[in-house]
Amino acid sequence: MNVAIAVPRRLDWGILLPVVALLALGLVMVYSSSALLGADRFHSQFFFLKRQVVRLLLGLVVMLALSQVDYRRLLAIAPWALGASVALLATLVVLGGVGVRGANRWLSVAEFTLQPTEVARVACVVYLAKLLDRKGDRVRSFRDGVLPAAVVLGVIALLILKQPNLGSTIALLVTGGLMLHLAGARHRHLAVLAGAGALFAGIQILRHRYMMDRVQGWLSHWLTGDAQGTSWQLHQSIVALGSGGVLGEGPGRGLQKFFFLPDPHTDFIYAVIGEELGFVGAASVLVVYAVLFLRGLKIAGRAPDRFGFYLASGLTLSLAVYVGMNLSVVTGIIPTTGLPLPFLSYGGSALVVNLGVVGVLLNVASQIKSGIRTGPVVGTVTRKRPGGR
């Protein structure tokens, strides 16, 4: 005799606690790094902090809502989400949007702004998870497995490049490549895609002056030690990280945020953390991120089905790629990309979307807690009673 039992929607604290720790530190550092800028531009030292709190609350609502919605429902909406993302990106290309430093990245309606790229990167991961689940072993075929995924990634990447936004394009393609690797794609097929992507990225850098300026600034910093011009931001970031020492200058006592380091509350917030909290604080952030990503990958490995595995691993890798690229920029490993640091940087769309990602991971985790086999009805399981027939 079979009975239906509702799957418990319990929160996975292995995911939740690292995220809460990062969010709490993020609020402190956003205020510390933006208070002077807010007072100078908007006559309120709390301007950026108050906006961040509102976005954080919205993101928490999204996270808790998605944690209660069975992740398998994403199978049905994946094509629609991808289509909506393409439409939003195309609208941004055609109509233009709010621009920063030569790139149009935000759609603005009244007081509401949306960064379509953030929505698109998650929608693309969800669609790829569905595609790879359906393809199965056929992913080892270039034409029947890798090529369909490459077309999806290529369309989204081209629309993001039109903004232009090379950093987000690279992050998207790296995430997609890693998902294909986990699915079992042949290494030579991935090498072909990586080579084509690198060639295309080089062409884009040559075509866009501001991208070339960033590369030249990065090279001049390391090759000539030039601390002026296009290498100014990187130089100030390195100074901030180096001046923090072991324990840091103390919260709120950093100097580089005082109009020396551009964008201290967004892309370069990790430099402020390094200066004010020192090596101990900066290293602790890395440990928290490592705990979060390892837990996300563990959830993926224990997911009840193949779609859950691709979904959880893809979303976790997407966050990890963003963190890796941001930290690489702040420490001078790669040129400036303009990517925020998840859960720490000031921002609206990125924060809400990333908390939505956490909500999906929490739901996948809730499906594996009890180890009960999934039944035919979404959101329910079947269990045989002792002695039943």
Q: What is the pLDDT of residues 17-37, one digit of tens each?
A: 999 999 999 999 999 999 988
The angle at the Cα of 320, spanning 319 to 325, to the nearest 5 degrees, equals: 105
Q: What is the DSSP letter of 261?
A: S
* 292, pLDDT greater than 60: yes
- 124-182 pLDDT, tens digit per residue, is 999 999 999 999 999 999 999 999 999 999 999 999 988 888 899 999 999 999 999 99
Under 8 Å between Cβ of 128 and 307: no
List the one residue out of 86, 143, 138 whose CA is nearest residue 306: 138
Sign of CA dihedral 147, 148, 154, 155: positive
Q: What are the backbone angles phi and psi of residue 106, rounded to the nearest 5°?
A: -125, 140
Count CA atoms closer than 13 A to 348's CA, side-chain side: 14
Any domain includes 159: yes
% the chain with pLDDT above 90: 59
Cα dihedral 280, 250, 272, 344, rounded to 10, equals 70
Any domain includes 118: yes
Under 8 Å between Cβ of 144 and 135: yes
Higher confidence at residue 21 or residue 231? 21
Strand stretches in the chain, DSSP E: 2-6, 98-100, 103-109, 112-114, 380-384
pLDDT at residue 58, rounded to an integer: 95
Any domain includes 198: yes
Q: What are the backbone angles phi and psi of residue 351, rounded to the nearest 5°?
A: -65, -45
Mean pLDDT computed over 200-223:
82
The residue range of the domain holding 288 is: 2-384
Mean pLDDT, the chain, whole residue set = 86
Q: What is the DSSP letter of 71?
A: G
Under 8 Å between Cβ of 135 and 183: yes
User: Six-digit token pair at 346?
Assistant: 């000031």
Q: CB atoms < 10 A from the CB of 159, how many?
A: 23
Contacts of 142 (CB under 8 A, 6+ apart): 186, 189
Any domain includes 296: yes
- How many helices (H) and strands (E) in the chain? 12, 5
Any domain includes 178: yes
> Residue 371 class from Cβ within 10 Å (0-12 exposed, 13-18 middle, 19+ buried)?
exposed
Any domain includes 236: yes
Q: List 106's β-bridge partners, or say none.
A: 98
Counting the structural domains of the chain, the total is 1
Strand, helix or coil at 341? coil
How far apart are the two ends of the chain, measured CA to CA in Å?
Answer: 5
Please state which of the ranges 8-22, 90-104, 152-166, 346-360 shows the lowest mean pLDDT.
90-104
Q: CA-to-CA distance for 25 and 344, rounded, in angstroms?
A: 7
Distances (CA, A) of 167 to 65, 164, 172: 30, 9, 9
- 32-64 pLDDT, tens digit per residue, is 999 988 998 998 999 999 999 999 999 999 999
Under 8 Å between Cβ of 284 and 292: no
Cα dihedral 356, 357, 359, 364, rounded to 10, equals 150
Any domain includes 248: yes
Q: CA-to-CA distance for 362 and 360, rounded, in angstroms?
A: 5
* 328, pLDDT greater than 60: yes
Helices (H), 244-379: 269-301, 306-330, 349-368
Any domain includes 389: no
pLDDT at residue 360, rounded to an integer: 97
* 378, pLDDT greater than 50: no
Q: CA-to-CA distance for 135 and 146, rounded, in angstroms?
A: 10
> Residue 387 — pLDDT band, cuts 50, 70, 90?
very low
List the one residue out of 382, 360, 367 whose CA is nearest residue 74: 360
> Residue 228 — pLDDT band, cuts 50, 70, 90?
low
pLDDT at residue 9, rounded to an integer: 60
Higher confidence at residue 28 or residue 11? 28
Which of 111-125, 174-188, 233-247, 259-273 is predicted most confidently?
174-188
Q: CA-to-CA distance for 179 and 149, rounded, in angstroms?
A: 10
pLDDT at residue 147, rounded to an integer: 94
Q: CA-to-CA distance for 145 and 138, rounded, in angstroms?
A: 5
Mean pLDDT computed over 364-378:
58
In whole angstroms, what separates CA 20 from the centre of its chain?
Answer: 16
Q: CA-to-CA distance for 346 and 352, rounded, in angstroms?
A: 11
Name the region of 387 (left: φ>0; alpha: ψ -120 to 50; beta: rest): left
pLDDT at residue 11, rounded to an integer: 81
